[in-house]
Structure 1
Amino acid sequence: MNLRLTPASAEHLPFARDLTRRGMLRYYCQYDLLWLDEAFDQAWNWREQWRVMDGEVLVGFCSLSQDSKALYIRELHIVESARGQGIGAWVLRELDAWAAQRRLQCLRLTVFKSNPARHLYLREGFVEQGEDECFVRMQLTSH
């Protein structure tokens, strides 16, 4: 694998929206939440958007924001055909390094309670910080 993160632009928005919707819709239904394409599109404009590339092949995307303490993973999605190959773990390690380079204390994310990705985050060193009806807040202290 030749993995790298490259900036995403407006032309990548349909891919990212579709990938996110396909991956998240089951959780939206499970927790009786409403998916809105418009909400995703609005967030696109104020977040950092990155494509996950394996060589020249687009295998996923991630969406980030930050404040003075943390880098937040708002979305991280890998195409189904590329899952289970360590790409998500690679992205998490890369983003942890970015948080350290930006002199941020930690990497944070929120995950649906029933999402199996929660186990990946725990394996990569994230600690559960709290939860509500459907989400778990997780944090990785930057190295």
Structure 2
Amino acid sequence: MIYQLRPATSRDLGFARELTCQNMLPYYIKYELPWLDEAFDVAWAGRENWLIVQDDVPVGYVSLSRDARALYIRELHLCEAFRGQGGGSWAIDQVLAMARAERRPALRLTVFKNNPAQALYRRMGLEVVGEDECFLRMQREVDASRR
């Protein structure tokens, strides 16, 4: 499969919101957390968002934020039909390349404890560095000398 990243626009908000709700609602229900479209929309507006596309068709997206300590994956979602085909690994590789280019010390993300995506994150070198009732905080040190 050949994937590309393209900057997301406000026109992509509906796709991203629906995909995230579809993928995450079972976790929100399990942990008794409210899903709020408005909260998603506010978060989307404050992040750097990239669509994962195949032949110009959106198959997922990744949402990023930064601070001096790390590049953060805030959301990473693929449409169900495209899971298990290397797109998640590919997207994380792209984000790691961004972190290296920006000389960020680490790549970080948070994942629900019962989300099977954590196996992907572990394969990609992220390790659990903390947890709370619902989430695991994961991190990978970024070697800026690798390009």
Q: TM-score, normalised by structure 2?
A: 0.95
SS of the aligned residue for 1:140 comes to strand
Counterpart secondary structure, 1:90? helix
Q: CA RMSD in A?
A: 0.7
Q: Deviations over 1:24-71 (max 9, x none)?
A: 000000001001000000011110010001122211011100001200
Q: CA deviation at 1:106?
A: 0.8
Please say if 1:42 is aligned against 2:42: yes
- Equivalent residue for 2:130? 130
Q: Distance in 1 between matches of 2:10 and 2:107?
A: 25
5+ residue gaps in structure 2?
none
- Contact kept? 1:17, 1:37, Cα under 8 Å: yes
Number of equivalences: 143
For 2:10, the equivalent position in structure 1 comes to 10
**Aligned equivalent of 2:77:** 77
2:25 aligned partner: 25
Name the structure 2 match of 1:94.
Answer: 94
Q: Could you list the runs of 4 or more consecutive aligned residues of structure 1 that deviate by over 3 angstroms after TM superposition?
A: none
How far apart are 1:83 and its partner, in Å? 0.5
**In 1, Cα distance between equivalents of 2:100 and 2:83:** 26
Question: 1:105–1:142: 8 Å Cα contact kept in structure 2?
Answer: yes
Contact 1:62 1:73 in 2 (8 A): yes
**Conservation of the 8 A alpha-carbon contact between 1:97 and 1:142:** no
Residue 138 of structure 2 aligns to which amino acid in structure 1? M
Identity across aligned pairs (percent)?
A: 53
Unpaired stretches in structure 1, ≥5 consecutive residues: none
Aligned to 1:55: 55
